[in-house]
Amino acid sequence: MLYFVHCIDKPDSQALRLANRAAHLEYAKANIDKIIIAGPTLTEDGQGMTGSVFIVDFPDRAAVETHFASDPYVKAGLFEALIIRPYRKALP
């Protein structure tokens, strides 16, 4: 099943994000078979990162929660919110 995951960074957490970015990307690459699309959300000027958006494919919500619990960003306490919603692709 597809899930939309919106991770929202805590305020003033750019340094924490950058310190854990390499480990986060390695974790994502190791699980690439479950990721449909992923990337950071950006500040209005496009220069800073404010969170992450994922569309992932897991059998159920519990599997999504387990996956993200092991993400280095989550372990580092980067996010103030992690929103998980079932998702259905409609277009194209």
**35-71 residue pLDDT tens:** 999 999 999 999 999 999 999 999 999 999 999 999 9
Among 5, 2, 1, 3, CA closest to 83: 5
CATH of the domain at 71: 3.30.70.1060
Residue 61 inside a domain? The answer is: yes
Q: Count other Cβ atoms within 10 Å, centred on residue 3.
A: 22
Domain of 54, in residue numbers: 2-41+50-86
Q: What is the pTM of this model?
A: 0.93
How far are the Cα atoms of 35, 48, 82 from residue 19, in angstroms, in the given order? Answer: 23, 14, 19
Give me the pLDDT at residue 43, please.
95
Residue 92 inside a domain? The answer is: no
